[in-house]
Amino acid sequence: MLVTTLAFDLEEEEKLIDQYLALIVRVSKSFNPPNDTELEEYIQIGKIALLKAIRTHDPNRSKFITLAWNYIKWDIIRYLSNKKKQEDITKQII
C-alpha cells in the first residue's frame, strides 16, 4: 500500500512541477543568466526547490505560490553564492 501511495505522490509532484514551470522559468530569467546553459542550470535548481516547497507546504501557514517563489529564488541565490566562492578559491589556487 505504501508503494502505491508513494507512486501517486510522485505523479502528483510531477504534475505540480509541470504546472509551475512558468514560475520557475520567470524567476530563473530574473537572474539574467549569461547563456542558455546557465539558464538550464537555474531551471533545474528551481525544479528541485519547487519539489522541496511541495513537500514542506503547510496550507495553514502560507499560500503555496509564495512559498514556492521563495524556495526557488533563494536556492538560485545560494547556488550563485557557492559558485562565486568556488571561482574565488580557484583563482587563489592559480
| pLDDT of amino acid 94 | 67
* Residue 8 resides in a domain: no
Q: One digit per residue, pLDDT tens: the chain, 94 residues?
A: 334 444 558 888 899 999 999 999 999 999 999 999 999 999 999 999 999 999 998 889 989 999 999 999 999 999 999 998 888 777 777 6
| pLDDT of amino acid 7 | 54
- What is the tally of structural domains in the chain? 1
* Residue 1 resides in a domain: no
What's the CATH number where 54 sits? 1.10.1740.10
* Residue 5 resides in a domain: no
* Residue 42 resides in a domain: yes
* Residue 7 resides in a domain: no
Give me the torsion for CA of 28, 33, 39, 43, rounded to 10°. -20
CA angle 50–77–49, rounded 5-degree value = 10
Judge whether 22 and 67 are in contact, CB under 8 Å.
no
Per the structure, the complete domain to which residue 24 belongs is given by 13-93
